[in-house]
């Protein structure tokens, strides 16, 4: 029998006493940040302190805009002293998902990605849900908490982003949470966050992409070379999908000793996640959804396969192997 929201809330709150101090660790994106805010609100005045820390570098303009506009207080994990906390929670992820989570004894895991076999005091993993923000909205409603405008806006935006505006698979709970949050959210603020897609540093890579794009049979390819942040690949791949007649967008770059490949398509043709897993799965991590996927390969793994220090050679190789796979 399905566990009710009230029972989940009761079990969660039963873990804590007034003197406890909780650290929430996230791989920061809109859904994770909003969900961490919601957990902090659930425990407000119930425990001594709740802090939120992130394991990744936050550099995407929309994420930075969300932090600024919502006034969210986050700590980089390097500034966290584990000895100061009695409990550790991980939200919108699981310990095996990022090396930054290693060595932490989590007693709370709340996520919507497929379970990876974790066992601890409190586990709530619902892979059928489109967003963890939906799950956390259910907790708030079970606690009869009316979300503040910043919290409702963050959760509203978290659902929007993780469901791609309901273009991905969702359940009715996502729709219900979205409708509930709409009553309290500042929709104009979400638009301001969404529109913060570009930084001045990224414009040079847009120029390079427009100058060097290769299009074959409605498939756009470009290799950017070395980048300061791999998020620019995502931004440009999404941008190319707005071009009429482009049905595949493939953007790659080298970043911190890795080859990063971002793929987007219109969702009607071959599965992008399966394609990358088939081509690059033996070389690194690769996979994703039908219309969006990502691969990351340590450059050293390409030794003997391609001259990876030569951007032109790397670009040609990627074009050939991807065109052959598609």
- Residue-wise pLDDT for 54-73, tens only, equals 998 888 888 999 999 999 99
Cα separation of the two ends of the chain: 44
Residues 213 and 318 in one domain: yes
Higher pLDDT, 27 or 60: 27
DSSP 95: G
Which pLDDT belongs to residue 207?
94
pLDDT given at position 77: 92
User: Mean pLDDT, to the nearest integer, of 32-48?
Assistant: 97
How large is the C-alpha radius of gyration of the chain?
21
Residues 76-87 have pLDDT tens digits of 999 989 899 999
- Shared-domain flag, residues 227 and 299: yes
Query: Global pTM?
Result: 0.73
**Residue 230 predicted with pLDDT over 90:** no
Statement to judge: residues 152 and 211 lie in one domain: no
Comparing 207 with 115, the larger pLDDT belongs to: 207
Chosen domain end from 171, 195, 219 = 195
Higher local confidence (pLDDT), 95 or 31: 31
CB 64 within 8 A of CB 196: yes
User: How would residue 100 be classed by pLDDT, with cut points 50, 70 and 90?
Assistant: confident
Span 318-323, average pLDDT: 92
Q: Write down the residue that tokens 């959210």 correspond to.
A: 185
* Contact (CB, 8 A) for 27 and 92: yes
Q: Which pLDDT belongs to residue 97?
A: 80
> Total domain count for the chain?
2
Average pLDDT along the chain: 92
Distance between CA atoms of residues 64 and 239, nearest Å = 20
| Structure confidence at residue 197 (pLDDT) | 67
Q: How confident is the model at residue 24 (pLDDT cuts 50, 70, 90)?
A: very high
- Cβ count within 10 A of residue 255: 19
Query: How confident is the model at residue 90, as a pLDDT?
Result: 96
Residue 42 and residue 164 in one domain: yes
Position 201 pLDDT exceeds 80: no
List the domain range (segments joined by +) for residue 231.
201-325
pLDDT at residue 1 is higher than 70: no
Residue at token pair 């029972």: 7
Distance (Å) of CA 298 to CA 257, 282, 303: 6, 11, 10
| pLDDT computed for residue 96 by the predictor | 83
Could you count the other beta carbons within 10 Å of the beta carbon of residue 161?
21
Tell me, yes or no, whether 149 and 242 share the same domain.
no
pLDDT category of residue 29 using cuts at 50, 70 and 90:
very high
The domain boundary residue, chosen from 178, 195, 212: 195
Residue 235 predicted with pLDDT over 90: no
Both 33 and 12 in a single domain? yes
Look at residue 174 and tell me whether its pLDDT is greater than 80: yes
State the pLDDT at residue 202: 81
pLDDT for 101 beyond 70: yes
Tell me: pLDDT of 200 over 80: no
User: In the predicted model, what is the mean pLDDT of residues 301-314?
Assistant: 93
CATH for 175: 3.90.1640.10
């Amino acid at each position: 029998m399905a566990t009710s929201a009230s029972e989940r809330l009761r079990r969660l709150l039963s873990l804590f006493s007034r003197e406890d101090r909780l650290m929430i660790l996230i791989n920061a994106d809109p859904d994770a940040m909003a969900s961490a805010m919601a957990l902090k609100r659930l425990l407000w005045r119930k425990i001594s302190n709740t802090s939120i820390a992130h394991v990744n570098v936050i550099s995407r303009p929309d994420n930075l805009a969300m932090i600024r506009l919502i006034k969210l207080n986050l700590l980089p994990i390097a500034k966290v002293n584990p000895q100061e906390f009695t409990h550790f929670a991980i939200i919108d992820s699981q310990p095996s998902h990022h090396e930054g989570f290693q060595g932490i004894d989590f007693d709370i895991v709340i996520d919507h990605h497929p379970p990876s076999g974790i066992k601890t005091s409190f586990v709530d993993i619902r892979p059928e849900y489109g967003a963890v923000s939906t799950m956390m909205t259910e907790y708030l409603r079970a606690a009869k908490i009316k979300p503040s405008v910043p919290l409702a806006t963050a959760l509203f935006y978290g659902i929007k982003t993780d469901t791609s505006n309901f273009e991905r698979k969702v359940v009715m709970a996502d729709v219900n949470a979205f409708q509930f949050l709409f009553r309290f959210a500042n929709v104009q603020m979400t638009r301001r966050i969404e529109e913060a897609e570009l930084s001045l540093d990224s414009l040079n890579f847009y120029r390079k992409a427009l100058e060097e794009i290769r299009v074959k049979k409605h498939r756009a390819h470009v290799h950017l070379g070395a980048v300061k942040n791999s998020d620019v690949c995502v931004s440009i791949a999404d941008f190319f999908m707005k071009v009429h007649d482009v049905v595949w967008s493939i953007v790659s770059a080298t970043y911190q000793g890795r080859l990063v490949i971002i793929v987007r398509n219109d969702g009607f043709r071959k599965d992008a996640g399966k394609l990358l897993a088939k081509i690059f799965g033996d070389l690194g991590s690769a996979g994703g959804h039908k219309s969006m996927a990502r691969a990351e390969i340590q450059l050293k793994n390409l030794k003997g396969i391609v001259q990876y220090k030569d951007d032109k050679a790397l670009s040609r190789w990627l074009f050939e192997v991807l065109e052959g796979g598609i």
